[in-house]
């Protein structure tokens, strides 16, 4: 039998969930949302709250968000990444990690307030 190649249908800017499965390289990243930054033949390069990684197609699942929702997630991701780049406090990192695993495209009023305060406190 001949194997047919499954096309990579992901698009840059698309929001996906990381499925860690049995991949040790993805340990701790399962359930995180990720934004596709590059589409390769058998993988995608994605941005998560604390960095960038290349993930095989079987380890991604699209959230099927509308373009406006993907853009909203991009803004949230950028804010989280900026805070992560300057903050090393454990409690802040835990909060950022929890935001990186949200299953929705928005922050609640309380999450927004907390992130805003953290942004203010970590601004140089």
pLDDT at residue 2 tops 60: no
Break the chain into its structural domains and give their ranges: 10-124
The pair of structure tokens assigned to 58 is 């079987």
Query: What average pLDDT score do residues 24-51 get?
Result: 93
pLDDT at residue 124 tops 60: no
| CATH code for the part of the protein at 10-124 | 2.30.30.30
Query: What average pLDDT score do residues 70-75 get?
Result: 95
Q: Provide the whole-model pTM.
A: 0.86
Where residue 98 falls (left for φ over 0; alpha for ψ -120 to 50; beta otherwise) is: alpha
Residue 79: closest CA among 123, 32, 15, 20: 123
User: In this prediction, what percent of the chain has a pLDDT beyond 70?
Assistant: 94
Residue 60: closest CA among 79, 75, 38: 38
Query: pLDDT of 84-113, one tens digit each?
Result: 988 678 999 999 999 999 999 999 999 999
């Amino acid at each position: 039998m001949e194997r047919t190649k499954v096309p990579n249908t992901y698009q840059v800017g698309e929001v996906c969930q990381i499925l860690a499965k049995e991949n040790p390289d993805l340990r701790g990243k399962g359930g995180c949302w990720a934004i596709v930054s590059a589409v390769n033949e058998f993988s995608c390069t994605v941005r998560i709250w604390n960095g960038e990684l290349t993930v095989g197609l079987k380890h991604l699942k699209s959230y099927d968000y509308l373009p406006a929702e993907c853009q909203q997630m991009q803004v949230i991701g950028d804010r989280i990444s900026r805070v992560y780049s300057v903050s090393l406090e454990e409690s802040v990192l835990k909060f950022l990690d929890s935001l990186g695993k949200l299953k929705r495209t928005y922050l609640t009023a309380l999450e927004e307030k907390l992130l805003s305060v953290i942004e203010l406190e970590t601004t140089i």
